[in-house]
Amino acid sequence: MERNRNSRRWTLYGVGIVLLQAGLLAGCDRSAEAPTPAPTANAVASVAATPAPKGPPKLILAFGDSLYAGYGLDRGRSLPDAVQARLRRDGINATIVNAGVSGDTSAAGRQRFAFALDNMARKPDLVLIGLGGNDVLRQISPAETRANMTAMMDEAKRRGVPVMLTGMMAPPNLGPDYTSQFNGIWPDLAKRYHAAIYPFILDGVIGNQRLMQADRVHPNPTGVARIAARVAPVVETALGKVR
């Protein structure tokens, strides 16, 4: 029964990918009507209104694509907003700067990663990296995605900034060779760079129509809340290791 449910969810995910590739749904594409934020620290900052609790301040950079940017959601309802609210509720004085840009591939992220770090108020205590969905959409070579992700990990390491990865997975309809090569990128990098990881950002949400927007690729507010409930504890653990 569980296998059947999982298979159906992956099928719906694959359908969403096919629709996006056909240009019927442009949620992850730069040509979408949703505004694309400029990649500057001020322009992309999206800080929840929840008052920060007492305690040492923690600064987090959320660097990703539309799943971070909050495509299709009202302002202040993005995943970084939801994670920040949970951290503060748990007594962690965290501010998350949202540097999510809808449409970004790993290559586009690589191009602006250093710029985003340079424009932070100070060196962040943690960087969340969530890219790869648009690489799947365009069926970019997993080797290229791996090279881009590795370059960003190297840059963060050079700066002494801890990283937490929110991983992406390719749907089975792209074939076993592509999926095995692509899906292995995030656990491999997490192991190599001793980074925290939430293996699949859409886990428990993809395929559930009550939790997804009409494009079947982006979570709705309820879906975002579910993802945040799972991601926030991993962020807390990662922050706990920061000296």
223 vs 160: CA distance, rounded Å: 33
7 vs 4: CA distance, rounded Å: 5
Please identify which of the residues 46, 66, 78, 102 carries the catalytic annotation: 66
User: Is 218 one of the annotated active-site residues of the chain?
Assistant: yes
Backbone angles phi, psi at 64, to 5 degrees: -165, -155
Spatial neighbors of 7 by CB under 8 A, at least 6 apart, are none
Spatial neighbors of 112 by CB under 8 A, at least 6 apart, are 39, 101, 104
User: Is 7 one of the annotated active-site residues of the chain?
Assistant: no
User: Is 203 one of the annotated active-site residues of the chain?
Assistant: no
Please identify which of the residues 102, 125, 135, 218 carries the catalytic annotation: 218
Structure token pair of residue 41: 């620290």
Could you give the count of Cα atoms lying within 13 Å of 236 in the half-sphere of its Cβ?
17
Structure token pair of residue 130: 């969530």
Structure token pair of residue 196: 């925290």
Q: List, by residue number, the catalytic residues.
A: 66, 215, 218
